[in-house]
Structure 1
Amino acid sequence: MEQIKNDKLVLTVSEHGAELQSIKDENGKEYLWDGDEKYWNRHSPILFPLVCGLWKDTYRCEGHTYHLSRHGFARDTDFQLIAKGADRVTFALTESEETLKVYPYHFNLAVTYRLDGNKIHVVWHVENTDVRPIYFQIGGHPAFLVPGAKKGEHLQGRLRFDNPAPQRLYGNTGGCITNGHFPVKTDNGVWAFTEESFNDDAVIFDKSQLHHVEILGNDDKPVVTLDFKTPAVGIWSPAGKHAPFVCVEPWYGIHDWAEYDGEFKDKYLMNKLLPGASFMSEYTITIK
């Protein structure tokens, strides 16, 4: 485990999955889910080289067929610590014999966490170290404690979106999305959710509908905010488990369409890098 801090926040990050484990303020208050396996045994996994699911966990690439489980392998792989300062830390992952069995590309993935006052910058950097174009998706999956919620009790919470009339996709057909957008009812951008809101799995917004989400306290003031430029975002909590957290997930990628049988490179919201090129983006968590 690695820890970085400033006068506002203390972060703990694991080399396994380069996964954020804890966000505490100067008073020791925790904001990130604790990973209790009774409910969900993760905190904030990195999704790479796949976001969400493939149809039948299968994809096709250059005449070969591969099998890759939901959200890819990065979250279950040990990264290497490559840089650390008082207020930032960077981990990296490159291809291995094991990754090449399920993902045939050479790459370098770096994940940086940087503190700036009460803000956390989560930076992704993907570099193509192959001799051909590579294709990938990447996303975040941070789980935040819902103010007032407790383990074992029915979940209720409120989020504020920067779009008062967003429309969702459904991704519950074999773990893949289906055509059609459906309105999500808000009160001038404030969405009151319960665990039943996730009976159809994550609530998914594509087409760059959202770029700012606030987790609201009981007084409807923001406790945590997320800012991102991703084309898609998922909102999720495990339905029926009485878990006291909600995930706000910025995604450069999304599920397969149900029954998709095309090439990996042609998936919806796929990213392409030419040899020697790199991709960099970030999302920001603000603790209020």
Structure 2
Amino acid sequence: MANSLRSLLAYAGGLFSQLPGVPEAPSDIRPFYEPLSGAPSCPIDGPISCHNNTPVVGNSCCFVHPGGRLLLTQFWDQKVHAGGAEDDWTLHGLWPDLCDGTWDQFCHMTPNYPNVTAVLEKHGQQELIAFMNRYWLAGYGSNSHLWDHEYNKHATCINTLAPACYGEDHIPGIEVVDYFTRASALFRTLDTHRALGKAGIVPHSRRHYPLADVQAALEKYSGGKVVLRCTGRRDVLHEAWYHYFIKGSLQTGEFIPAQDYGNKGDAGNCAPWVRYPPKRRHDAEAEEDL
């Protein structure tokens, strides 16, 4: 059986507490549901993705291949979203890049689903949906449309989510639950706002920060490489991409912070000095305070 979110968060807290200089995980991390899954258990001593040329012989469901470099991507939007807070970074996706830093998309290793929200509802994941409606937000259009896009473009390239990996008792849609469970749980271990704040990097309307300091703070916090991307004149901080490998399957495996960017190098586009602007509230919300 797949690890519960409770055990995943316990693992994550242990992993990050063991890394030098890494602050404790946020105290508000709590398990918010027990995920359903029929994914197979995998050996704890299996190979790490992108560190083996071929899948594990006879057990490809315990080795993520070929997209073995996992990127957890976050956004810093310049507005407070409904139900959100001024310190919320939001989740954009969990992407399985190839080992050389390139990527596939719409791979059909697992079936496409045209309505992810309906699948999650069918599996009783209302609390997960509520979490995603605060933290996994579309820049434009509906959140549901973004979730459909992220699953069908990226999750279908993760081989361990294939129905065959669940055996004869596979329940359609359970791979959708597993993908959004693991992405959401990993996101909860990566409090980008808190990590930057501990380094004295806080949202400010005029101040500029050295890009190297921003990157160093997040890499110290996560234990792995982080790509930063900016908007405006490449000087407005907007995205953070955390790099991982994985030991075992996506469903039950261990995320290992990557110590390199891959053969493609750093995909960041930011200027040497960047701004980290405060979020703006909607006019209606601001008027309530007058």
TM-score tier (shorter) = under 0.3
Q: TM-score, normalised by structure 2?
A: 0.27
Larger helix fraction of residues: 2
Q: TM-score, normalised by structure 1?
A: 0.27
Larger strand fraction of residues: 1
